[in-house]
Amino acid sequence: MRRFKSKKMLKGIGLWIILTAFAITFFSQGVFAAELKGEIEVWSLNWNPAEVARGKNLTALLEIADEYMKLNPGAKINIMVKPRMEEAEINTWLVTQSAAETIYHVVWAHSSEIEQYAAENWFIDWTSYLNEPNPYIPGNTCWYDAFYKNPIELRKSPDGSLWSLPLGLVATIFFYNKDIFASVGVGAPETWAEYTEIQRKLKNAGYVPTLFPMKTVVSTSWIYRVLLSHFYEPMLADLDVLGTPLYVDAEEFSRAVAKGIFSAKSDRYKEILRIIKEWSQFWNPNFLSVPWAQGRERLVRKEATMTWDHCREMTPLLADPLRDFEFGTFYCPQITKETSKYSGEHPMRMVGGASGEQWAITATAVREGKVDLCVDWAKFATTPENHLKLVDEVGSSLPIVKGCEVADVMKAFLPQFEAGISPFIVERFLTTKQYDEWFRHMQLFMADALTLDEVAEMDQAGFEKSAKEFIEKFKYDQSRW
């Protein structure tokens, strides 16, 4: 065995080993990587410093950006501050800014909305980057493994692309005024039949039972998805056949429509329309002119006794100084045979999933050669420590990164994820044009301008048009159908 001749040589080799290990560690985390130099602009909808949660402005995203810049001295992360916009306003802003080539490098965008601009090359597909290691998570060899995968899979486009990276799990729940319930002598319902009877008692007592804002598509798509999932879950074996367990994707739905397995003219489908129509007698009289975003405010003002809303409203509702009543929550009431002969024994699958905070990387990053910096920044923001810091500060969603504890204020929403999210998502099955048409027909139906059979005919025509367009556009392999 070879012996070293001096302690000085041993010390020198030891120092070299230490310095080498130190350099490997820092290079593996991208700290000195040349491609991470540059400046990017990031706009978050839910972690925006302009927002207030629990009585103070949000700071977590700013703090995480500062930590990132300390690790990567050549990079600068500018967190952009914008007033909150509703989804329709955001979509308009995304289109105009993208067309003008003035859009930020990283922006909030709903993946199922921006996939229609794939041909414009305004946003990048995250898929290949998710297969890379995340150097900021010790031992991680595939960034995607750090996430709960099923909710993200639901956000993919029909061709498998992921145009916006989900960064928070959202859930929905019914909020109700416990004081008014007590005055009428009712409690939280467990079945849809009980819910209907409670609403009848509330209406007879002079109250507006349920706020259902239908000026925008949100609430309508929610109840439609829940009922579609409930009535067609017994048929999942015939519908979910192409390798996407737990949900029906666009190709599977196109196949079902093309083969006549699914039809809006069927009695099973018409049950969805019948129940929604019957439910509408308990909604606020001006439901067609109320936007979805006003649910919490109208509940606080006692314009309605109940509202179905997003988990992000829990914290503001708890802190609202104008609220002078105790509120409670309940899960979507179970539809039983008492309500419909098509009901099953399976639990109700509520609306939710990876549709809260979502980041898209734009063509601006591509033009300026900053995509790698944007991706690396997103990797840093999705370590369990950083992700939990962002989620907990706002208190409006559940973690989508593994290893994060759910905050107490969000635990009321856990039953949704135990029961499972609705496997049928209407906006996945329709082209943008047909989705808009579908919603317009639903509004006309609720306004008594169309009959149930007329809406069913129109829905079937829309499904057939969308299926044909998807089959042609994405060149589905029909031999495996």
Total number of domains constituting the chain: 2
Q: 406: alpha, beta or left, given left = phi > 0 and alpha = psi -120 to 50?
A: beta
- Using the predicted structure, report yes or no on whether residue 77 has a pLDDT greater than 90: yes
The more confidently predicted of residues 406 and 188 is 188
> Could you give the C-alpha distances from 136 to 21, 26, 88, 359, in angstroms and in order?
16, 10, 35, 19
User: Do residue 146 and residue 244 come from a single domain?
Assistant: no
User: Do residue 181 and residue 323 come from a single domain?
Assistant: yes
Q: How confident is the model at residue 150 (pLDDT cuts 50, 70, 90)?
A: confident
pLDDT of residue 170: 85
Contacts of 308 (CB under 8 A, 6+ apart): 172, 173, 174, 175, 210, 212, 219, 222, 223, 295
Q: What is the CATH number of the domain that holds 74?
A: 3.40.190.10
The more confidently predicted of residues 306 and 148 is 306
User: Do residue 209 and residue 256 come from a single domain?
Assistant: yes
Token pair for 155:
């956000």
Q: Which domain does 65 fall in, by range?
A: 36-169+354-397
The more confidently predicted of residues 116 and 390 is 390
Bridge partner residues of 308 (DSSP):
174
- Secondary structure letter of residue 52 according to DSSP: E
User: Do residue 329 and residue 457 come from a single domain?
Assistant: yes
Encode pLDDT of 398-439 as tens digits. 899 998 888 887 888 877 777 777 888 888 889 889 999 999
Asked if 378 and 128 touch (Cβ cutoff 8 Å), the reply is: no
Spatial distance between the Cα atoms of 355 and 181, rounded to a whole number of angstroms: 31
> Could you give the C-alpha distances from 46 to 395, 399, 460, 462, 477, in angstroms and in order?
10, 13, 37, 34, 39
Contacts of 456 (CB under 8 A, 6+ apart): 264, 265, 269, 270, 273
User: Do residue 191 and residue 277 come from a single domain?
Assistant: yes
Secondary structure of residue 173 in the 3-state scheme: strand
| Section 153-167 average pLDDT | 88
User: Do residue 146 and residue 40 come from a single domain?
Assistant: yes
pLDDT of residue 220: 94
Highest mean pLDDT, choosing among 34-38, 116-120, 343-347, 359-363: 359-363
Entry pTM:
0.75
| Section 360-388 average pLDDT | 97
The more confidently predicted of residues 15 and 169 is 169
User: Do residue 92 and residue 178 come from a single domain?
Assistant: no
User: Do residue 137 and residue 190 come from a single domain?
Assistant: no
Residue 22 lies in a domain: no
pLDDT of residue 395: 79
pLDDT of residue 459: 97
User: Do residue 208 and residue 134 come from a single domain?
Assistant: no
Residue 1 lies in a domain: no
| Residue 365 identity (one-letter amino acid) | A
Encode pLDDT of 93-148 as tens digits. 999 999 999 999 999 998 878 988 999 999 999 999 999 999 999 999 999 999 98
Spatial distance between the Cα atoms of 450 and 168, rounded to a whole number of angstroms: 38
